[in-house]
A and B are shown apart, each in its own frame.
Chain A
Amino acid sequence: MNQTAILWLEIAILLPLVGGLLLTQLSDAFYARRWAIVISGLSFLGTIFAWGFGEQAALSESSFSIGRLVAGRLLVTVDSLNAPLLPAVAMLQFLTALTTLRTKIRRFSFGWALVGESLALLTLAARDEWLVIAAASLATIPPFLELRQRGRPTGAYAAHMLAFVVMLVWGWAVVQAEGGGRVHTLWAVVPLLGAILIRTGIAPWHCWMTDLFENATFGTALLFATPITGACLAARLVIPVAPDWVLRGMGLLSLMTAVYASGLALVQGEARRFYCYLFLSHSAMVLVGLEMKTAIGLSGALCVWLSVIVSLGGLGLTLRAVEARQGRIVLGDHLGLYDHMRPLAACFMVTGLGTVGFPGTLGFVGTELLVDGAVTMYPYIGVALVVAAAMNGIAVVRAYFLLFAGPPCRSTVSLAPGPRERIMVVAVMALVILPGLLPGTTTASRYRAAIDLMQRSAREQGMPLPLIEAPGHPGHPAADTHPAH
């Protein structure tokens, strides 16, 4: 069965690319939505099959693949790092298409959203680094087109994304020129690092993200930001080649951003900006964990990454559903929406708590591991991560009370969520709570991915492979020793 995993993944990537490009030519928005739901649903199924049919499928030389037919080699892979992330990203796209209401379908471009999904999946799954860079660079175009189409300012977004693409290409070109098996020079590492910091939204290079959330449609901004493609680029391009002190610098900047963004999330008066800062804080936390190079810290970061896609993605979809009824939401006074939309209120609370790592949710163990790793790595300033988590928790509950508490909002029409939104609510809550109640499998899978990442990094830098106890992990003989921190 493993032979078909790559094929399923390629279908999951190609289907939205082709479908999306065709849908951009359609003028009937209702028709486009219907097709977008079908295509993204099939793509989601494809990623599920790819995940289910084995993380080691890429190693099989006999596996059938479209890439091999076209380019003579495998172009994409399913590995321990990307296996659960691919379905999570595809699911987010599917649920976004599914819950786009009639009031919004003329503003939201389903075609470009599908193209963006395809490029996001390709960024996560590509084997060749240049393909990763190409996919990540091309993925910046659909939001730009939407901003221009809507007549919104593009300056901040375009400037940052241009810098991101240039630095990414420049950095990797120098890495290639210098060759493998060594620690690379600053000429290679610094541009790469800069590109990652910009794409992940690390302060002070994060303003494009708030600008995007304010000016693009919520759906586009959500789909572009939430997969945290920057973390994938960091894991694939920077961590294996960068010296430790550069990674530490990146970690410190990320740590400061996590606290700073959580503080700003606390004082936001607009729901979109609140969401954006909450996201920035969590993406910075993921980056903090990725640079740690300890099994625990990395596992925590990978768990939080998955949790952010599912929980924060769900929170974004919930906010989007509320916004579709209320218009732009101002978090100034209590809106009193609870009685109108109880399922959305429940989903907001569950996904919000999942995001901040509340016990019994997907993010709990990840946050624990991440904080544990951060305090080990930075004994004093690692405490900042706990401060950030605490402030994010307060920001989420504050937003909940401002949205759903207060004198009941009066409306002449029903504001209750429709059947499609109810499906989204149930799916998201189940995905946040069930793995949270039984976190063993998810954590073990993320731990394996962390070990793979560490070993790859050691190989790239020509250092001895760390011996890591990993029972049941193929390719890694079980050892009693623990890795040196």
Chain B
Amino acid sequence: MHDLLVTWLGVIVVAAPTVQVLILGGCALAGLALPERVIGRLVQTCMFTGLGASLGMLALMLTFGTRMEILSLGNWVDIPEYHFMLRFEFDRLSIPFALLTFALCGTVGAFANRYMHREPGYARFFCVYALFVFGMIIATLAGSIETLFAGWEMVGLSSALLVAFFHERPSPARNGLRVWSVYRVSDAALLLASIALHHVVGSGDFGHILENRSWPDGHAASAITPQLAFLVGLLLLLSAMGKSALVPFSGWLPRAMEGPTPSSAVFYGALSVHLGAFLLLRFSPLLDVSPGLAITTTVIGVATTVLASLAGRVQTDIKSALSFASMAQVGLIVAEIGLGLRYFALVHILGHACYRTLQFLRAPTLLHDYSLIENAMGQRVRNSQGSFDASRVRPGLSRWLYRFSLERGYLDALLTDYIVRPMLGLFRTCERWERQWTALLSGRRIESPRPDLPTGPEDFR
């Protein structure tokens, strides 16, 4: 009875977002336009179903006192030497994340249903949103690093597409590309970590990597030496840094605010931005093996918090200010993980995600809210919170700090000037040489570069 219930509830949890993405994605690709009401109902049904099944699973685990339930749907790919198992884990880490995903995505879905009403891109928004929910559920419930990687990539793609949602303007498209570029670096790091673990442990299953213990009691497999844990952990940390906008990749988060408010809320306030922290929590036994890794994680978390706190104080629009506030909290969460405070970090994620979603969703009506409060109070609301008190520091330092905060620690400029621009410059030089070589072989005159072709990293700004 217990096994049957686990199987059924697990299948429903995974099937709800799958059905949603198949219907919305299939209709979008086939060019079928579903009415707004149908899309709204479908999203509502899938989110409620998934949430109900997740709650059921939690109740079941509490009733039977189990700390981990496994749902195995067989092998997706099965050839000798390589298996890709569809295996999902329900434990103390994945269940809260699944509940959070369904609850917040359901709320934001209901909000977006009205917010995006009669927008030309309504169906497109919900199609990408469905891909995001699916990716989140796959990544959080994944029982192997390969499955986690698949969900991770889907979350990345949906984020980039939603940042570029208002694609009639070039700026969202450029920012979407920037976000996607950072995510690809993050994906590459996760893929390498996955392959490294596969080779060392012989399998990508968390059961083997973490010695079949439920979170957070897992131990790294005996094959994972401290040096290896440090190297693999650095790759995982790099991956988390890209996904959670930790330094030095923090520049993409304010750019991501170009997307519609509901997507900003669910992606950068609540779920996507915490996925890096989730990854570190999932592999937290590696931090126990390697103190160097734990220290690095803590330092990066603290640095992110300091930078985001400073940058957040000089922002002039509400969404940017909220994005830096999110970043500061995520930095703290990562530092907590580095310090070994895992339950604390988990509770921090849950609380922060809910609170920040509320703030993001209220952001468009902030002036209206202020007006209501001031009318009720009969006086102006005094707002000193978050302002930069320049009188406490020396004038020169104050000016420097202001500039530093305004430029977000110059990290974006550093990445562009020292990595992106030289790399693109190198490839452009190769391109020029190639054209000359081909012209020589063909007996043509060497052409001068066309004036309408890009000469700098404009689209990577």
Contacts and interface: CB of A to CB of B under 8 A. Distances in A.
Interface in B47-81: 75-81
Contact of A405 (B79, B84, B173): B173
Nearest to A154: B442
A31 B280 CA distance: 63
Interface string B75-99: 1111111101000000000000000
Interface string A417-453: 0000010001001000100000110011001000000
A397 interface: yes
Given A375-B192, A393-B187, 13 more contacts: A208-B441, A264-B430, A267-B454, A299-B82, A338-B167, A372-B82, A375-B199, A391-B184, A401-B174, A405-B176, A444-B79, A468-B80, A469-B81
B80 A334 contact: no
Interface string B421-461: 00110111011001001100111100000101110000110
Contact of A447 (B79, B173, B188): B79
Interface in B179-218: 180-181, 184-185, 187-188, 191-192, 195-196, 198-199
Nearest to B188: A390
B452 A332 contact: yes
Contacts of A393: 180, 184, 187
A60 B434 CA distance: 50
Interface string B8-48: 00000000000000000000111100000000000000000
Chain A contact residues, majority secondary structure: helix
Nearest to B437: A207
Nearest to A350: B29
Contact of A371 (B185, B195, B442, B454): B195
Interface of A: 153-156, 159, 207-208, 210-211, 260, 263-264, 266-270, 295-296, 299, 330-334, 336, 338, 342-343, 346, 350, 353, 358-360, 364-365, 368-369, 371-372, 375-376, 383, 386-387, 389-391, 393-394, 397-398, 401-402, 404-408, 422, 426, 429, 433, 439-440, 443-444, 447, 468-471, 482
B336 interface: no
**What's the interface size class on B, roughly?**
35 or more
A270 B452 CA distance: 10
A263 B180 contact: no
B169 interface: yes
B132 to A, nearest CB: 13
Given A263-B423, A330-B453, A383-B192, A295 B442 contact: no
Nearest to A387: B188
Binding site secondary structure of chain B: helix
Contacts of B185: 390
26 contacts: A154-B442, A156-B441, A263-B427, A267-B454, A269-B450, A331-B454, A332-B452, A336-B168, A346-B29, A359-B150, A386-B191, A389-B191, A393-B180, A401-B174, A401-B459, A405-B173, A406-B168, A406-B169, A406-B173, A407-B169, A426-B30, A429-B29, A439-B76, A444-B79, A468-B80, A470-B80
Contacts of A208: 441
A390 B184 contact: yes
B30 to A, nearest CB: 7
A353 B184 CA distance: 12
Given A296-B82, A369-B82, A405-B173, A267 B424 contact: yes
A333 B174 CA distance: 11
Interface stretch (B152-160, B342-350, B364-372, B404-412): B152-160
Nearest to A303: B77
B76 A440 contact: yes
A330 B452 contact: yes
Contacts of B431: 264, 267-268
Interface of B: 28-31, 75-82, 84, 146, 149-151, 153-154, 157, 160, 164, 167-170, 172-174, 176-177, 180-181, 184-185, 187-188, 191-192, 195-196, 198-199, 423-424, 426-428, 430-431, 434, 437-438, 441-444, 450, 452-454, 459-460
Given A153-B444, A210-B438, A405-B173, A269 B198 contact: no
Nearest to B166: A405
Contacts of B154: 359-360
A271 B14 CA distance: 40
Contacts of B157: 353, 358
A260 B426 CA distance: 10
Contacts of B437: 207
Contacts of A447: 79-80
A440 B443 CA distance: 50
Given A389-B188, A401-B459, A332 B454 contact: yes
Given A401-B177, A440-B75, A159 B441 contact: yes
Contact of A394 (B84, B170, B184): B184
Contacts of B423: 263
